[in-house]
Structures are given as C-alpha cells and as structure tokens.
Homo-oligomer: A and B are copies of this chain.
Amino acid sequence: MLLLRRCRSLTRLQRHQAAPCFASRAVRLCSSSTEDQRSHQRANWSANWKRIVAGVLTGTGAVVTYGLLHQEVEQADAGLPTTERSSSLPVFSHDEVTKHRSLEDGVWVTYKGGVYDVTEFVPIHPGGNKILLAAGGALEPFWALYAVHDQEYVLEILSQYKVGELSAEDLKKQGEAKASDPYSSDPERHPVLRINSKKPFNAEPPPEILTESYITPHVLFFKRNHLPVPQVDPASYRLQVEGLPRGALTLSLKDLKTRFPKHTITATMQCAGNRRSDMNQVKEVKGLNWGISAIGNAKWSGARLRDVLLAAGFGPDVAKWARHVHFEGLDKDVTGSAYGTSIPINKAMNEDGDVLLAYEMNGEDIPADHGFPVRVVVPGVVGARNVKWLGRIVVSAEESSSHWQQHDYKGFSPGTDWSKVDHASSPAIQELPVQSAITVPADGAQIDRSDETLTVKGYAWSGGGREVVRVDVSLDGGKTWQVAQLRSGDKGQPDEPSPPPGRSWAWKLWELTAPLPPDADELEIICKAVDNSYNVQPDTIPPIWNLRGLLNNAWHRVKVKVTKD
C-alpha cells in the first residue's frame, strides 16, 4: 500500500517534470560529441537515440523492428559503451542503493553488479512509472517479467546511467535469489497464431482464417496479455466487490453462477492497437506490431455486473457519488501490483449496458488465456477494459489511477510527440470508433485474370453498441464504390436476431463478389464501414497517426496483382 501511494504521488510529480527532464537529457546526449575519442560514434548514437527510445517505447512487451535492433548491435560491436566497460567507479552496498527510491532521493537500480542512477530516465521510461517499482533494488526480476528489456540496445541506454558497482558480497546474495521464469506456467497455444510477443504472450490469427467463422473459436481469438497468465484454482477463487456502503462482498465462482441470472451476449472485442502495423509504416510508433486480427467475436455468458453491484448495495445514495467502476486482475507483477483499469459508472449500471462478469466463452469455461475463471466483458468498449482473471471490483468517485488508465490507451493528435505529450489532456479510450478490414484477398495476392470475378471478404464493427449498417468496397483505389453483403452469422446459416438499438455488440462479416475490372494489372482494394450513427472511417492514416499507434481505423487497403495465363 505504501508503495502504491508513493507511486501515485510520484505520478503527480512526473506530470510536471516529464518534459523538462526529457529535454535536459536530450541536450546532454546531443551535446556529447566532443567528449572523447568515440565522438563520431557517439554522435551517431545520439542521432539514433530518439529513434531507439521510440523503439524501446514498447510498453509492457513489444517487437522492435529488426532494422533498428541490427543497427544498434552493429554500433555496440564498433565499441560503444557497455555495462562491463566502466571500471573506476565507486562501490556501493545494497543498503546504500535502497536509500535511493524516489525522485527526491534519486532513483537507483542494480543490474548484474552495476549500480545505476536512472532518476532522469524515469519521465521517459516507456512503461511509465512502473520503473519506480524497481527503485532501490535489482532490475532482473522485472526484466524477467517484461521480456522487451532483453535487447542489446536497452543495455546501451542503461549504461549511460551507471554510477558505480555493487559490493561483491551483496552481488553474491542477489545471485542466490535469482528469479525464475514467471511465464513457465503459461498455457499451450495454437501454432497457427502469429506471435507479436512471447513474454507476455500476444498473438493474433491469420486474417483469412479469422473471418471463416462468425463466432471466433477461442484458440484463434487474439491473445493480449500484459503479464504472465495467473494460475487460479476455481474452488478457492474469490471475487471482492468493494467501495459500497455495506462493506466488501466476497463471491465464489459458485456464487456468481447461482446467485445471479446467467446472461449471454455475442460481443466483439478489439485491442486498441489493432492495425498498428499499418500506422507503424507511416511513422514509427510504440507498441506491439499488430496486424488486422487483434479482434474477435465470441459468445460470453456470466452474471451482469449491474446485478452484482445491486446485490452489493448499489442504490440511489451510491449513484449520487459513484462515477467509475475499477477492475483489478489477478495477473500481478513481481511487486504484487495487478493489472487494473476502470469504466464509467453509467456503462456499468445501465440496463442496456450488458457488462458481464463472464465465466463462459463460446459455451465453455473461459480458457486460461482469456481470463479463467472470470473476466469482465464490457461490450462496445476497448479490450483493455475487459479485465481478465478478475480479482477485485471497486466502485469509486474517481477513475482508476493505474498506468493503463492514465498513461496508456489514450489518443493524441498527429502533431503530438513524446516531448510534449500530456496524458492528462486526453480521455482514456472507452468506446471504439467504426472499423473494418479486408481479410481476403491478402495484400500482395495474385489474382488470375481468367477468374472474371473477384470475391472480397472482411469484418466490420463499431464501438458503443452502434450497428454497422453498410460496408463500401472499392476495387479501384477509392474512385468507385460497391456495397458489400453483410451477415451476422455463418455463411449459409440464418443471421442472429437483430439486437435493440444501442446494443449491437457483435461484428458483421461482409463479402462482395464483383467482375474483375478489365485491363487492370493491379488493384487497390479498399473497404470502409458506416455505423448507424453514420460515423465513417477516415480515408488515410497520417492524419490519425498517434505516438502510441492506437485507434487505426482508416480505410483498409490491400493491393493485388492480376496475372494472365
């Protein structure tokens, strides 16, 4: 608790200090070109520094482009500073290091016997103030959790901050308490998945498989984990419901299943980073390099959150002050800090909100990767709020103060870069905008001229319960448009019944078969969807580009070649 409180106060401090600290550090790095013999190399290093930071800014696990990594390794080979190289630095005891656990006292960490003062790095740490959890101690257990740090250039950045060596005696003690791999008990996954990050596990299915079924089988449903998958015993599982006047309510899995009506919805879930890879090609962003399949559609069953909160004492008096509902997962980092986030109270309590504490996915127990035994399903809302392995619910007057609510999953103007981003200026993403993508044919596919017709397939969805009412498809780069056929069920099967207005949580699959345009060697195929608020997708990516690569809902485009026999 003390640690959490400290983090919160530091967060406040950081907001004011972030920009100046970044600037001073950048100046220090950029003005180092005359320091020593390696001046030229260091100038290169400095010039690349911002790009490298952009690369490492991958939050809680991500892929950095091979190009950047390769460049950096080459520079290291050419004699750039490493952790081993500095020798004449003072020796510190573990006790001395532990005194530096705040921005006021300095933020020190140890790594493989080196001592580092990372105070100035704190405001620009990609993972936000979670770096403070390691303050005054060893980095190793955290890096074991966030495998993104297992990169050469991360050591390069760290080496800039070295201030001394850890005493031999304390180093020996640390070695004895070495962290084991927290991901060792993660479940098996289907080999067809395209992996974006192994630890934590993040993966998506191939697009052409994704739209083969209206209901996405759980093995193909994209996995988006922030931390190791927790092992939960369903018999001893307990959900805490807090913040209400009657005191905490504790519910077993059986309680959830028997004390509340079972409610089933078909709902599409999408990661805010879906289609980030296309945004990455416009200008580099930080985050997992998702393709177009960080989205899936499932049948979810469970107790309504509304019913549980009413049973826990939610009433008119609470409605006067309650504004948010917090969710905490059982997925925890080494300090015991859990994944957490919140949603507005009106979504939670609205009779039409359909927020579930789900214990079934597609008619079976929720699989480990999707939140066994209980996850939140907040239909129409970004995946990040659909907390898995749910451990705790808190009704509150305030939004969650978690990293994922306050310093991630927010949109910014294309003109906003890391030097001037103010997270407080932007609302946490909740409802998502209208979206669509082409799953067939694939970009770069070859079409046979003798086919005469071309079939294009894909998905379309909108957040907030808004129903997709039309998908336009162009085969000529947007000059002319044809209307695709929509369906809400598997091909050849009847559509699912239409939901009431504002409760359209599930995607539409769409298909268009059209004559192959004559004389074209290449086609640029585009899709764009319209929802029942008549919101549409923007034409191009650059004007919605944002530094985190979120919310890419520009028209999806694929190019195919038309070949002759």
Chain A residues at the B interface, C-beta cutoff of 8 Å: 344, 346-347, 350, 352, 411, 413-416, 426-427, 429-434, 463-464, 466, 469-470, 472, 478, 480-483, 500-502, 528, 530, 532-540, 543-544, 551, 553
Contacts and interface: CB of A to CB of B under 8 A. Distances in A.
20 contacts: A344-B500, A411-B530, A413-B481, A413-B482, A414-B472, A414-B480, A426-B469, A429-B534, A430-B501, A431-B534, A432-B534, A433-B533, A434-B535, A463-B533, A464-B464, A464-B466, A478-B543, A536-B553, A538-B539, A539-B540
Contacts of A535: 433-434, 533, 535
Contact of A411 (B347, B426, B534): B534
A483 B352 contact: no
Most B C-beta atoms less than 10 A away, residue of A464, A472, A535: A535
A478 B350 CA distance: 40
Contacts of A432: 533-534
A481 B532 contact: no
Contact of A534 (B352, B414, B433, B466): B433
Contacts of A553: 536
B538 A551 contact: no
Nearest to A502: B346
Nearest to A482: B415
A472 B415 contact: yes
B501 A347 contact: yes
Contact of A532 (B431, B466, B539): B431
A413 B536 contact: no
Given A352-B350, A483-B413, A501-B346, A543 B530 contact: no
Contact of A538 (B431, B469, B500, B536): B536
Contacts of A429: 534
A26 B543 CA distance: 44
Contact of A543 (B347, B427, B481, B500): B481
Given A426-B469, A483-B416, A543 B534 contact: no
A234 B378 CA distance: 48
A173 to B, nearest CB: 49
A532 B427 contact: yes
Contact of A415 (B426, B481, B536): B481
Contacts of A543: 472, 478, 481, 528, 536, 539
Nearest to A481: B415
Most B C-beta atoms less than 10 A away, residue of A344, A470, A538, A553: A538
Contacts of A501: 344, 346-347, 430
Contacts of A536: 433, 538, 543-544, 553
A430 B532 contact: yes
Contacts of A415: 472, 480-483
A414 B433 CA distance: 21
Most B C-beta atoms less than 10 A away, residue of A344, A500, A533, A540: A533
A434 B533 CA distance: 9
Contacts of A431: 466, 532-534
A326 B350 CA distance: 24
Contact of A413 (B413, B434, B472, B500): B472
A413 B483 CA distance: 7
A426 to B, nearest CB: 7
Most B C-beta atoms less than 10 A away, residue of A352, A432, A472, A543: A543
A201 to B, nearest CB: 27
A23 to B, nearest CB: 20
A502 B344 CA distance: 10
Nearest to A537: B538
A182 B365 CA distance: 68
Given A344-B502, A432-B534, A538-B539, 6 more contacts: A346-B352, A415-B482, A416-B483, A431-B466, A539-B539, A539-B540
A472 B483 CA distance: 31
A533 B544 CA distance: 14
A472 B534 CA distance: 21
A510 to B, nearest CB: 13
A144 B282 CA distance: 58
Nearest to A351: B350
A82 B502 CA distance: 53
A367 B427 CA distance: 38
Contacts of A537: 538
A46 B79 CA distance: 81
A264 to B, nearest CB: 20
Nearest to A472: B413
A467 to B, nearest CB: 8
Contacts of A434: 535
Contacts of A482: 413, 415
A539 B543 CA distance: 8
B346 A470 contact: no
A429 B344 CA distance: 27
A7 B130 CA distance: 68
Contacts of A463: 533
